[in-house]
Amino acid sequence: MRKRTKLACVLALLFAAWTLAAQTEWPAPDPAAISTFEEQGLHHSQVMDILSYFTDVYGARLTNSPNIREAAEYAVKTLGSWGLANVHEETWGPFGRGWSNELIEANEISPRHFSLIAYPKAWTPGTNGPVTAEAVYAKIEKEEDFSAYREKLKGKFVLTAPLRAVEAHFDAPGHRFTDQELADLAQPPAAPRPPDPAARERALAQAQFNVKLVKFLTDEKAAAWLEPSPHDGGTITVQAGGSRDPKEPMVLPRLAVAIEDYGRILRTLQKNIPVTLQINIASKFYDNNPDSFNILAEIPGTDKADEVVMLGAHFDSWDSGAGATDNAAGSAVMMEAMRLLKTSGLKMRRTVRLALWTGEEEGLLGSRAYVGAHFAERKDMKLKPDYAKLSAYFNVDNGTGKIRGIYMQENEAARPAFEKWMEPFKAMGMTTLAVRGVGGTDHVSFDEVGLPGFQFIQDPIEYDTRTHHTNMDLYERLQEEDLKQMAVIVASFAYMTANAEQMIPRKVVGKGQ
């Protein structure tokens, strides 16, 4: 008898799981429960008030910053005031030092005065007061270029990136999925392109060169490094520029600058006209508590209370904006979904647990730590007792747009349940089940150890075009009606998952996957 290939075995097991799931009688949506969630969630929502606290009051929530710790205190207090159980912060780590920016002032003072739109990169130092100095363009594209600028950059504001074209925007930055785009998402994904070893090598070489360039500019004692944003229109992408490890050497101050302001300075320099800048950056490091935390809260179940349905979103953000769409929106929606479940007074057989994660922006650190501590370590797949008790994890982290469906993460066995539970929400725009997986956020921490982890499909709105990791990620970019819709759907899916006779089926995962 011919040996079956590994793929054939996996496909057979998946087909068996799908067949079993298809034969399972999943509970129909409960109209009375959904009506209760809609009445409270659409007409008495608290989601925007929560979001105003997260964004307006506490602002950006860089992991281990004072901002995120104060925002967490508010979240814990709020969840407790709703009567949720076991509300607490669960420590994980070490993450490393905290950081905050206290002040940024950046101006060209000659040949003409204008204010720069600029933000310091996370974990980079300040200037120790206002610094007035010459701006210089150093055309450094490879290591061999270092020698041409050695001992010439001390105390100067250095630009190294060349100019790039900035095109007009003829299409609106905001977008909702069309029917055709949703239909395309519902199709099986195309075969992935084979990896390009040459492209990988180029990217690795560029990353290694950037590390050497930062060290060179730091060793040369440049006053600061000015880097143009990949966005335009005053929108600036701002992420990390230094290390959160206190053992790593400190780098020079680094500023992400609006491309229009960067271009004005560089074009002036190219005319051999001197440019003088005055920049004042005040930033602080916090080394006293290297551990971070996740925020947990529960609604205990009844006869299946030892089994769990989890809702989650990442609580942290980058520093320049207020982390509104990434991801105060998801955090507030999940909190609001828990409020809807609690205020409804409806009984749920399984425990519903909320998790708000930190360290997501640095690599899903908080959720991976939690999964490793409670369910399974992805490196060796050694299962913890709670591994068998999780029915599903649902995640929100794609901005402020309404829910249009679910990425099933290649878990076809979940389709019969989700198809049935999605029916009442088609009028709200939720129509699509995409078998494909999507990465880059916290459901991956569950999926990679074989637990059912799902991300909702959302309208993109301005997520990639304007708000993701930028200074424009502010309260005004949030869509209130969309967020209300999301909370109602999340609460409904949590309720139906918690009351189903059986847990959500799992896909097959091999050891170490």
Looking at residues 287-314, what average pLDDT do you find?
Answer: 97
Of the candidates 26, 32, 37, 20, the one whose C-alpha atom is nearest the C-alpha of residue 421 is 26
Using the predicted structure, report yes or no on whether residue 33 has a pLDDT greater than 80: yes
pLDDT, position 312: 98
Using the predicted structure, report yes or no on whether residue 2 has a pLDDT greater than 60: no
The two most distant CA atoms of the chain are separated, in Å, by 83
Looking at residues 468-488, what average pLDDT do you find?
Answer: 98
Of the candidates 344, 347, 335, the one whose C-alpha atom is nearest the C-alpha of residue 499 is 347
- pLDDT tens-digit readout, 148-198: 999 999 999 999 999 999 999 999 999 999 999 999 999 998 888 888 899
- Please give the mean pLDDT across all residues of the chain: 94
- pLDDT tens-digit readout, 6-25: 333 434 444 444 445 545 78
Task: Give exposure, 425-452, as e/b (b: 16+ Cβ within 10 Å).
Answer: beebbbbbbbbebbeebbbbbbbbbbbb
The residue that leads in pLDDT, 73 or 190, is 73
Using the predicted structure, report yes or no on whether residue 5 has a pLDDT greater than 70: no
pLDDT, position 4: 35
Pair of tokens at residue 127: 């200037």
Using the predicted structure, report yes or no on whether residue 97 has a pLDDT greater than 70: yes
- pLDDT tens-digit readout, 117-140: 999 999 999 999 999 999 999 999
Measured CA to CA in angstroms, residue 325 lies from 99, 262, 420 at distances of: 22, 27, 29
Of the candidates 396, 237, 399, the one whose C-alpha atom is nearest the C-alpha of residue 318 is 237
**Strand order, beta sheet including 390-395:** 85-92, 292-299, 350-357, 304-314, 390-395, 453-458, 403-407, 432-434
Measured CA to CA in angstroms, residue 71 lies from 58, 93, 322, 375 at distances of: 6, 19, 12, 27
pLDDT-derived band of residue 394, with 50, 70 and 90 as boundaries? very high
pLDDT, position 190: 84
pLDDT, position 8: 39
- CATH 3.50.30.30 residue ranges of the chain are 99-166+194-286
Pair of tokens at residue 334: 């999940």
pLDDT-derived band of residue 286, with 50, 70 and 90 as boundaries? very high
Per the CB < 8 A criterion, the answer to whether 159 and 137 are in contact is: yes
Per the CB < 8 A criterion, the answer to whether 175 and 459 are in contact is: yes
- pLDDT tens-digit readout, 357-383: 999 999 999 999 999 999 999 999 999
Class (C level, CATH) for 99-166+194-286: alpha beta
Class (C level, CATH) for 22-95+291-499: alpha beta
Looking at residues 40-56, what average pLDDT do you find?
Answer: 98
- CATH 3.40.630.10 residue ranges of the chain are 22-95+291-499
